[in-house]
Amino acid sequence: MLFHHILFHRALGGEVVAKECVLLDDLFYVQCDDAKIKNTVTVSAANAAAALEKQMNKTGGAGKVSLTFFETVSGGIWGERKVPWEEWVLHVRARTKPAFGQQEEMLRRKELEGRLKTLMWQIHGIVNLRRSHLPKVNISSSGGSPLCFPFEIKDPSAKQGVLDLLGRAVSSGPKVQVPL
């Protein structure tokens, strides 16, 4: 849901807004009405949840999921490369089953709803304040969606090999990192 909120606020315009309701009491959010964007976020969320559950014994179910916006530039003989310009990092934790039943579950849901509302307002404030680093819009290289800058989502299971780290070091340009 938070990544949908970020993507909506970094959208290039022209989208049809789909109003969604979270399964919490009265928490609504907006998202880009684009099947590719929705699918990418849904698949990434499912992968992150599965990775957190697998790592429950090692990490206590805690991990990071990142949303990175990038620009594709020509790298000469190396072909095209991705230059990240903004990264949002969400610290997440897998939920355990409530030990004390319905009342504990209701308290957890209220706490989660309050935290999500706070994060959504923080996101809204950040995207409105930080615009100077946004690249010029090149819709033809927008990752297949004319609605949004190119992006990728990495979950806790995403392994980084030596080539990934080297590629990130080579392509590291001016980037804004926003931990949430």
Condensed to tens digits (0 to 9), the pLDDT of residues 53-69 reads: 887 777 777 888 899 98
Q: Which residues of 85-109 are buried (b: 16+ CB within 10 A; e: fewer)?
A: bbbbebebebeeeeeeeeeeeeeee
Secondary structure class of 86 (helix, strand, coil)? strand
Helix H or strand E segment including 134: none
Residue 129's domain comprises 2-179
Q: Per the structure, how many domains does the chain have?
A: 1
30: its two tokens: 């907006």
Condensed to tens digits (0 to 9), the pLDDT of residues 89-112 reads: 988 877 777 677 888 888 888 888
Distance CA 30, CA 81 (A): 31
Percent of the chain clearing pLDDT 70 (strictly above): 71
Please tell me which residue, 97 or 149, carries the higher pLDDT value.
149
Which of the four pLDDT bands, split at 50, 70 and 90, describes residue 165?
very low
